[in-house]
Amino acid sequence: MTTPSKLGPVVLSLFGLPFLGFGLVAAYSFFQAPNQPLAARIGAATFASVFAIIGGGLIFGSCYGYTLQKKQAAREQAQPGSPWLWRKDWAAGRATGKNRASARGWWVAAVLLNMLFLPMTLGTLGRALQLHDPAYLLPAGLELLALLTTIGAIRATRRAQRFGQAYFELASLPFSPGGRVAGAIHLHLDSNTAHGRAHGMDLKLTCFRRVVTGSGDNRSSQQVPLWETSKNVPAAAFSPGPLDTAVPVEFQLPPDAFQTDHESLSDQVYWRLEASANMPGVDYHDEFELPVFRASASPTTSKSLAADTFPGDASPAGARPLVSFARSNTTIGELSDEVAEPARHRVVVEDSPAVLQFHFRAARNLGRTLLVVSLAAAVSALFYALLQQHQRHTPLFAYGVVGLLDFFLILAVVHTALTTTRITVQNGANGGRISWRHSILGIGRMRDSAISEVDSIVPLTGIQQASSSGSTQYSVRLKTKAGQNYTLIDEIESREEARWIVAQIEKRAGLRLNTQVEMNNSIYGPPPQPGAILSRR
């Protein structure tokens, strides 16, 4: 349970006071500096004000956080055995979307970054033009980060304004393992937008574990996927109303699923519903955290959405219970006899009676490619500037660090932007073969394996850095009976695409169909087990 402590707010306030005092004094001193142009004084004062804002934010945040902790503790004490009633939105029968909070976070980051980097950029650009020294352009490049953050803030604000404060209305409270996640997403959609796209809305239900390790500068957070499934709701299923549009949601939960667990701040289990849709202008995307608990009593059913009358009882493809969900955290998904072709995928398929080929073009993940190329270009420019300024006795350590980072980024560019892959499956129960070729600008090596020597082909995912908007990457791995593992293709952004590719290869090769997604071995041991939360209350 939450235990309010005054020590934390006091420590944070004491930590923030020097920032607040230094920032205010420095801002005043810079603004009153004699013999300095007004623009330079304003820029320096703005830069110093960031420290005052950070200090003031720490003091305000610690006091406000303590107030919220006391309210949270009161809710927990009132319902000690019902953790699904500890959140205000859950207790009201809904899960609030994160778009509004995300937009506020984007704007806070954008304002602070621009206050830090814009004065520096304006100053260094002038020096670069005056002295014709490219080294002065490097600090100016930091403003690109602020500019990208500002663009993200504008898009997040447009999304929040356009779709309103979306929420997921819960058909029952809580959702229980072995039962159904059912309800409806309510958001603002005009009739033309709601029914103008045949693709409808993509939904993904994910269970993941967030593990925090280390402390201080070595503190890191990893997100370990435990289970997920997805489906598409066609636009024809949307229900326009006088105030908003309702999008029906229904998934089947595994009977041995892990439950929501926030007991330990360093090891938590979340259930998250993600919704996204292609819309004219700004696309829709939102996330909702769901209460999944193994309650002793029957879950409360919402009056407006009774589970036994909820439309769309047909379970989506890929929503079957997990095999050994609670006994092993190395698999995500299910055994399946059919995987539908995704509505959108990034692979070219050539199917003939004798051969099945998959062709993955270079730079197929445009966003990732642009990010890697931009980072490589920026670090390469920094390394070039260091080489140009060698007469200034730059430490060798700086050359080594920047050069090594540049080297790995260039390798990432080659892999992401220049590498193509072709996977070929040749027919034949006895003489069939699976071959794959990774090539860079047409240069590559062909590898193959007889189908009779293949043990399995599986989708694979791994641990990601924890992020509210980060995307999971999948790969396809071939395992031989001799114990060898080969990666056929990686950097697949869609789970359904990875499972569909595996299903097509295994069906053509005559292998046992298994599209269960595997996860790289976790080093954190098993996550909190089902029933652990209620037993601790």
Domains of the chain: 7-84+97-156 (no CATH), 165-313 (2.60.40.640), 336-515 (no CATH)
**Beta-ladder partners of 420:** 439
174 upstream amide cis, omega within 30 of 0:
yes
Q: What is the pLDDT along the chain (537 residues), one digit of tens a residue?
A: 566 677 777 777 887 788 888 778 887 787 777 777 777 777 777 777 878 888 888 888 888 777 877 777 777 777 777 888 888 888 888 888 888 888 888 888 888 887 777 777 776 666 666 666 555 556 666 677 788 888 888 888 888 888 888 889 998 888 888 888 999 999 887 755 544 455 788 888 888 888 887 766 677 777 777 787 888 888 888 888 778 888 899 998 888 788 888 877 778 888 999 888 887 777 888 889 999 988 754 455 444 433 333 333 333 333 333 333 333 334 444 444 467 777 677 888 888 888 888 998 888 888 888 888 888 888 888 787 777 765 556 667 777 888 888 888 899 888 888 899 999 988 755 568 888 899 988 888 888 888 888 888 888 776 554 444 445 678 888 888 888 888 888 888 777 788 888 888 888 887 766 656 665 545 556 665 544 433 333
What's the distance, CA 294 to chain centroid? 27
Angle between the N-to-C axes of helices 99-131 and 142-163, in degrees from 0 to 180, rounded to the nearest 10: 150
Determine the Cα–Cα distance for residues 412 and 409; give it in Å rounded to an integer.
Answer: 5
Distance set, CA 488 to CA 293, 359, 436, 534 (Å): 38, 11, 6, 44
Residue carrying the six token digits 């029906």: 248
CB burial of residue 80 (10 Å; 0-12, 13-18, 19+): exposed
Q: Residue 530 region, left (φ>0) first, then alpha (ψ -120 to 50), else beta?
A: beta
DSSP 8-state code for residue 86: S
94 CB contacts (<8 Å, ≥6 apart)? 167, 168, 169, 170
Phi, psi of 290 (to 5 degrees): -110, 150
Helices 38-78 and 99-131, axial angle in degrees (round to 10) = 160
Read off the pTM. Answer: 0.65
Interior CA angle at 165 toward 160 and 167, to 5°?
Answer: 130
Quick one: pLDDT at residue 248? Answer: 92
- According to the model, what pLDDT value does residue 422 have? 92
Whole-number pLDDT of residue 383: 80
Q: Which residues of 184-194 are buried (b: 16+ CB within 10 A; e: fewer)?
A: bbbbebeeebb
- Taking alpha carbons only, the member of 43, 52, 163 closest to residue 115 is 43
Q: What number of other Cβ atoms are within 10 A of residue 526's Cβ?
A: 12
Contact 502, 318 (CB under 8 A): no
Distances (CA, A) of 291 to 279, 368, 497: 29, 33, 28
Q: How many helices (H) and strands (E) would you count in the chain?
A: 11, 23
Give the span between the Cα atoms of 210 and 466, in whole angstroms. 7
